[in-house]
Amino acid sequence: MKDDAVKGKPVTEKKGITRREVVKTAGVAGVAAATGVGLFGGTPPAFAQKRTIHYLMDSYFISGAKDVHLAINEEYKKQTGVEVKMEFINQNDLNTRLTAAVEAGAGPDMTVLKWNMPHLFAGGLANHDALLADIDASGYYGFMHDATMVDGVYRALPAYMTPNAWVYRTDIFKELGISPFPETMEDYLSAGKMLKENGTPVGFTLGHTLGDAPANCYTWLWAFGGREVDENQKVMIDSAETRAALEFFREFWNDACDPGGLSYDDGSNNRAMLAGRIAVTCNAASIYYFATRNPDKVPEGLGDNLHHAPLPAGPNGSYGTNQPLSEGIFEHSKQKDVCMEYLKFFRTGDNFEKWFVAMGGQAVGPSPVWEDHPFWETQPALGSIPKMGGYGRSFGYSGPYDRKASEVQAKYIIIDLLALVARGDSADDTIKWAETELKQIYEG
Amino acid sequence: MNRMVGETYWQRVIFFYIPLFMFLVMLLFPFYWMIQASIKPDRELYNAAMSPFYFRSATFDHFRYLFENTQFLLWMVNTFVIALASTALSVTCGVLAGYSLSRLRYPGSTMLGVSIFVTYLVPPTLLFIPLSRLVNEAGLMDTRWSLVLTYPTILIPFSTWLLMGYFRTIPKELEECARIDGATRWQAFIKVILPLATPGILSAGLFSFTLSWNEFLYALVFISSPENKTVTVGVVSELMIADIYYWGSLMAGALLGSIPIAIIYSFFVEYYVAGLTGGAVKG
């Protein structure tokens, strides 16, 4: 600066960076960042961007399957750089979380869905038609499609099913001379009477539960030819077949069942069976899984004395209601394409097979192909579990499995139909009540 | 306790001690059940042939499972921090709003007081949907702040209402004396009113802390990461799986989760009662 003075230039003492310069620099940097034209030129390459998808599902009951799932996620991350952030919650809280996510338009990217949830939350779920076309779901069970297709559009990917069958104590049956497991309703009633006299009755829930009650109750109606609606959703509950079903059910409940079933929740029948208090219940494979892997917590030898059978046939046959499970991507997700790629990776091929085996019989594949998988030969006690898909019907039979059928299920109308008769109400009054409720839903 | 005049010993036993005993049994039985279920081994817990009302052998396996297989301690810390912060925020707002509505006269104060109380009547089951949108847009989803800032929607109305009643029991003359002696309204509030209102403030604080500690719905909806969960949600998520409930560990979690509240109440129960009843008698 002294040199400037010598050369005749004005002497201005530089005092360091001024505020004006700082503001100017920050402004330039901000504009550069906003337009993406930074100092290094352009946006970072895609592979350097870390992506995470948030996957909401109910907690794994089978720890081995959870480990396999997490390992598959890790493999997916290695291959694609996408991290799958898992959130596990209690299954009874799923509806609350899904409602909040759909109504807020924010939250997880994808979720597991049970039963008819794709219909209930259709407004918040993305169109999955392209995904279904990619994986060829044409061979899937009909009820798997019914659960996920809403007004002609797939709102979720049908993933697998959890079938319910009748779990029974082979040792008690043998002791009482009941063999094989009853195949008709009359035989079931006779066997049930013997079991109750033995102090080990039939036990199942007639409560408002998420899993066991719907899985069981509809099948009693169908076994006698009763149904909610016809093909055009005209209410048909008031019929001779329904009366026959209810009268038989009343007798069966009084003579063969644990009356405490009116207050069972989804876990009560498990506890009763694992404690040896009941000899038969309607359940998925979880009782067998727990008994065989926790022998110190159950009566000795229980795990070796369990088997599974379908509901005995009524005049109209034998039916099952298998819980369809699907996976849905939320409409609000900004990573729908990533989620679809992930679902293709997880739910098909070797990855699905590894996971299916790890589930230990709690999951059955979405198509009849899985009925003959070699895994079932290693678990003969699972009995009819792999074949229950063939017995499956959807709620709302014989109409479509749509939002109205979902509403009937959510309001537990068919469950209460049986529960009211079990507690002593007349069949006529109960049918009249159910008809009123069903007409409000189906006919407006 | 002294007998009333004319009251015989047996009258006292029948009309006082027996009902009191039954009341105690009804109140304490859940704790007894939790304690014995949390230390009972599984072979006794699930054995229907054994009486469920006592145990033959004890084990700490359920507690061990709770601490080793879940993040229970972290959930307790989260719950404590969230409850403390939301209580502090709610009581502060409640004190200021309660004083304003009970002491100051301005247009709309009555309507404001009523509307604050009416918001208390709106159930969280209705509010969680719009709140989840707000929380998400504020970028607070899956953070402790989502609960610290939403719990006051439940806590402030009740705290305000409680403290309004309590402030009304404090004679205005005390405040006026302080004002005459030269104190500003704020000084009178801090130095005269607040010390006298301590029972009411503690009562509001206890109530707020308890509600925050036990809250489930907002914690379920706004928090997703396991490390951010509170005790109420974490225990249910990890120990109730499909149709298998880990009853021993569930009871252990419930027991440990209720101990902090029980300890706090044991120290401050007189203030709590005084605070709740302070506004009950018009004086």
User: Is A58 within 8 Å of chain B by CB?
Assistant: yes
pLDDT digits (tens, 9 = 90+) for B9-27: 888 899 999 999 999 999 9
Nearest chain B alpha carbon to A56: B224
User: Is A105 within 8 Å of chain B by CB?
Assistant: yes
Q: How far is the C-alpha of A197 from the C-alpha of A444, rounded, in Å? A: 47
With CB atoms and an 8 Å threshold, state whether A106 touches B217.
no
Least confident of A207-211, B67-71, B134-138, B207-211: A207-211
Percent of chain B exceeding pLDDT 90 equals 53
pLDDT at position A46 over 90: no
Nearest chain B alpha carbon to A97: B221
pLDDT value for A179: 86
Max intra-chain CA distance, chain A: 122
pLDDT digits (tens, 9 = 90+) for A345-378: 999 889 999 999 999 999 999 999 999 999 999 9
Q: What is the mean pLDDT of chain B?
A: 88
Give ∠ CA A84-A85-A88 in degrees, rounded to 5.
125
Check if the beta carbon of residue A328 is closer than 8 Å to that of residue A55. Answer: no
A275 interaction partners in chain B (CB closer than 8 Å): 46-48
Size of interface A-B (CB pairs under 8 A): 98
With CB atoms and an 8 Å threshold, state whether B241 touches A89.
no
pLDDT at position A323 over 80: yes
Q: How far is the C-alpha of A53 from the C-alpha of A339, rounded, in Å? A: 7
User: Is A298 within 8 Å of chain B by CB?
Assistant: yes
- Rounded mean pLDDT, A82-110: 91
Question: Nearest by CB to A61, which of B46, B217, B241?
Answer: B241
Q: What is the mean pLDDT of chain A?
A: 87
Task: Provide the pLDDT confidence category of residue A189 given band limits of 50, 70 and 90.
Answer: very high
B242 interaction partners in chain A (CB closer than 8 Å): 58-59, 61, 91, 211, 266, 286
pLDDT digits (tens, 9 = 90+) for B227-242: 999 999 999 888 888 7
pLDDT value for A22: 52
- Rounded mean pLDDT, A196-208: 94
Q: Is B111 helix (H, G, I), strand (E, B) or coil?
A: helix
Pair type for strands A82-89 and A51-58: parallel
**Token code pair at residue A366:** 């979405």
Check if the beta carbon of residue A235 is closer than 8 Å to that of residue A215. Answer: no
With CB atoms and an 8 Å threshold, state whether A275 touches B46.
yes
Cα torsion A143, A147, A149, A150: sign: positive
With CB atoms and an 8 Å threshold, state whether A88 touches B236.
no
Contacts 24+ apart (CB under 8 A), A43-51: A47/A81, A50/A81, A50/A83, A51/A81, A51/A82, A51/A83, A51/A335, A51/A338
User: Is B69 within 8 Å of chain A by CB?
Assistant: no
pLDDT at position A41 over 70: no
pLDDT at position A403 over 50: yes
With CB atoms and an 8 Å threshold, state whether B242 touches A58.
yes
**Token code pair at residue B249:** 């560990």
pLDDT value for A8: 40
B42 interaction partners in chain A (CB closer than 8 Å): 294, 296-297
- Give a three-class secondary structure readout of chain A: CHHHHHHCCCCCCCCCCCHHHHHHHHHHHHHHHHHCCCCCCCCCCHHHCCEEEEEEEECCCCHHHHHHHHHHHHHHHHHHCEEEEEEEECHHHHHHHHHHHHHHCCCCCEEEEECCHHHHCHHHECCCHHHHHHHCCCCCCHHHHHHHEECCEECCEEEEEECCEEEEEHHHHHHCCCCCCCCEHHHHHHHHHHHHHCCCCECCCCCCCCCHHHHHHHHHHHHCCCCCECCCCCECCCCHHHHHHHHHHHHHHHHHECHHHHHCCCCHHHHHHHCCCCCEEEECCHHHHHHHHCHHHCCCCHHHHEEEECCCEECCECCECCEEEEEEEECCCCCHHHHHHHHHHHCCHHHHHHHHHHCCCCCECCCHHHHHCHHHHHCHHHCCHHHHHHHECCCCCCCCCCHHHHHHHHCCHHHHHHHHHHCCCCHHHHHHHHHHHHHHHHCC
With CB atoms and an 8 Å threshold, state whether A96 touches B217.
yes
pLDDT value for B282: 47
pLDDT at position A5 over 90: no
Higher pLDDT residue, B43 or B11?
B11
Interface predicted TM-score of the whole assembly (ipTM), two decimals? 0.76
Higher pLDDT residue, B277 or A44?
B277
pLDDT at position A222 over 90: yes
Check if the beta carbon of residue A384 is closer than 8 Å to that of residue A308. Answer: yes
pLDDT at position B92 over 70: yes
With CB atoms and an 8 Å threshold, state whether B132 touches A266.
no
Q: How far is the C-alpha of B27 from the C-alpha of B9, rounded, in Å? A: 26
Task: Provide the pLDDT confidence category of residue A35 given band limits of 50, 70 and 90.
Answer: very low
pLDDT value for A36: 41
pLDDT digits (tens, 9 = 90+) for A139-170: 899 889 999 999 999 999 999 999 889 999 99
Q: How far is the C-alpha of A15 from the C-alpha of A2, rounded, in Å? A: 15
Q: How far is the C-alpha of A109 from the C-alpha of A125, rounded, in Å? A: 10
What is each CA distance from A405 to A98, A228, A414, B40, B125, in whole angstroms? 19, 9, 11, 44, 25
pLDDT value for A263: 85
pLDDT value for A37: 40
- Rounded mean pLDDT, B143-149: 95
With CB atoms and an 8 Å threshold, state whether B132 touches A96.
no
User: Is A276 within 8 Å of chain B by CB?
Assistant: yes
Rounded to the nearest 10°, the torsion over CA B156, B162, B166, B168 is 90
pLDDT at position B265 over 90: no
- Rounded mean pLDDT, A39-66: 71
- Rounded mean pLDDT, B119-142: 89
Question: Nearest by CB to A90, which of B137, B221, B236?
Answer: B236
Question: Nearest by CB to A106, which of B47, B136, B242?
Answer: B136
pLDDT at position B247 over 80: yes
Give ∠ CA A292-A293-A294 in degrees, rounded to 5.
100
pLDDT at position B154 over 50: yes
pLDDT at position A43 over 60: no
pLDDT at position A67 over 60: yes
Higher pLDDT residue, B50 or A104?
A104
With CB atoms and an 8 Å threshold, state whether B48 touches A275.
yes
pLDDT value for B275: 65
Max intra-chain CA distance, chain B: 77
User: Is B140 within 8 Å of chain A by CB?
Assistant: no
Q: How far is the C-alpha of A405 from the C-alpha of A394, rounded, in Å? A: 9
